[in-house]
């Protein structure tokens, strides 16, 4: 019968010695600019009280009303092409109940904002800029519309690149302009890590206030690529701006506290609806016609009051024929 082998006295000491880790170190994350160095977790421990990491998941739903004309539809398509984080949807009927339908549509498409182009009488274009579902929402009248197809400008930038947003100093003067600036920033600024966005900036969105209207312009940042004229980092002297389009002007009408409605936070006292402008023009034209009719009546009254005396030589040459 075989005997059990006796363990040596130094066996527990050998088991206590740990074997060295011969596995390869973990490969760092690869980015567009090469391999990303891993932070030294032992040297800089993460603070325990640090809050959760914020990630911008802004998505914008862009849609329009039925019976929209082609110029306004082309403007909407230009805005969709400028915003890589936008989602386009089918047309919505422009009724009083459009707010509930659009809120439900925004929730179904997992969006947090909405741009709704509403066309009325095939003449006037209104833009609803909405933060869903809690609000606020702004209603604009859109004027001076020029699409990319109409302008045919020489500027050109990559589709999906992130824009730089610039605002005039007027936006910091009054509270309603500050609110509009924050809404425009959240809607038109492309999130950093969006899957359809390019990781660089090559164009600028310019929002400026002139005569209580917001004017929009889109410019390409043109940089020379020759070896002689190459621009160093931070050198803005050789950079130029070339306009791309589109162009439009926003006239704010009302700011509501909710989504597509709610309490009125601000109302523009200088706003005049296009219907009133057309009515005034019709009255002016009707005034011209009324003046002509009154002139004819005055002429007849003058002829009746000042009758001509009979001419004694009127029948002088009648009998000679």
Q: What is the DSSP string of 9-66?
A: TTHHHHHHSPPP--SPPPPPPEETTEEPPPP-TTTSPPPTT--PPP-----EEEEEBT
Residue 72's CATH number: 3.40.50.10480
Closest CA to 128 of 102, 146, 105: 102
Report how far residue 269's alpha carbon sits from residue 129's, in angstroms, rounded to the nearest whole number.
20
Render 67-87 in DSSP notation, one character per residue. Answer: T--HHHHHHHHHHHHH-TTEE
Higher-scoring residue by pLDDT: 312, 78? 78
Which residues are CB-neighbours of 140 under 8 A, at least 6 positions away? 126, 127, 128, 129, 214, 250, 251, 252, 253
Could you tell me if residue 306 is inside a domain? no
From the list 276, 280, 211, 253, the residue with the least C-alpha distance to 118 is 253
To the nearest whole percent, how much of the chain has pLDDT over 90? 58
C-alpha 71/C-alpha 145 separation (Å) is: 8
Q: Which pLDDT tens digit goes with each residue over 267-316? A: 999 999 999 999 999 888 888 888 889 999 999 999 999 988 888 887 77
Q: Is 10 part of any domain?
A: no
Domain span at 261: 60-269
Within a domain: 101: yes
Write down the pLDDT at residue 41: 46
| Number of other residues whose CB lies within 10 A of the CB of residue 166 | 12
Q: Is 21 left (phi over 0), alpha (psi -120 to 50) or beta?
A: beta
**Residue 33 included in any domain:** no
Is 4 inside any structural domain?
Answer: no
93 near 65, Cβ under 8 Å? yes
Predicted structure pTM score: 0.74
Q: What is the pLDDT of residue 27?
A: 64
In a domain, 32, yes or no: no
Average pLDDT estimate for 165-179: 95
- 6 in a structural domain: no
How many folded domains does the chain comprise? Answer: 1
Residue 310 lies in a domain: no
Q: Tell me, what's the pLDDT at 43?
A: 46
Total length of the chain: 321
């Amino acid at each position: 019968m075989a005997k059990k082998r006796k363990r040596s006295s130094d066996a527990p000491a050998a088991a206590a010695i740990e074997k060295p880790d011969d596995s390869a170190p973990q490969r760092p994350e690869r980015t567009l600019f090469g391999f990303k160095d891993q932070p030294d977790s032992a040297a800089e421990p993460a603070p325990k009280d640090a809050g959760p990491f914020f990630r911008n998941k802004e998505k914008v739903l862009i849609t329009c009303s039925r019976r929209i004309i082609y110029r306004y539809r082309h403007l909407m398509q230009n805005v969709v092409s400028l915003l890589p984080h936008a989602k386009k949807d089918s047309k919505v009927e422009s009724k009083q109940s459009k707010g509930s339908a659009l809120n439900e549509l925004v929730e179904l498409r997992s969006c947090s904002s909405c741009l709704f182009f509403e066309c009325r009488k095939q003449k006037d274009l209104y833009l609803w800029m909405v933060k869903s579902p809690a609000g606020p929402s702004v209603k604009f009248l859109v004027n001076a519309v020029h699409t990319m197809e109409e302008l045919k400008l020489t500027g050109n930038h990559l589709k999906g690149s992130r824009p730089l947003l610039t605002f005039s100093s007027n936006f910091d003067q009054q509270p309603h302009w500050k609110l509009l600036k924050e809404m425009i920033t959240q809607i038109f600024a492309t999130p950093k890590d969006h899957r359809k966005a390019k990781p660089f900036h090559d164009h600028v969105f310019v929002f400026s206030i002139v005569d209580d209207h917001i004017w929009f312009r889109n410019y390409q940042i043109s940089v020379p690529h020759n070896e002689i004229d190459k621009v160093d980092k931070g050198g803005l002297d050789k950079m130029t701006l070339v306009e791309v389009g589109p162009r439009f002007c926003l006239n704010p009408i009302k700011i509501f506290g909710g989504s597509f409605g709610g309490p009125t936070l601000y109302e523009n006292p200088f706003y005049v609806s296009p219907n009133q402008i057309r009515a005034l023009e019709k009255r002016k034209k009707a005034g011209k016609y009324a003046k002509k009719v009154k002139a004819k009546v005055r002429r007849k009254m003058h002829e009746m009051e000042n009758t001509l005396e009979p001419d004694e030589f009127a029948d002088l040459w009648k009998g000679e024929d």
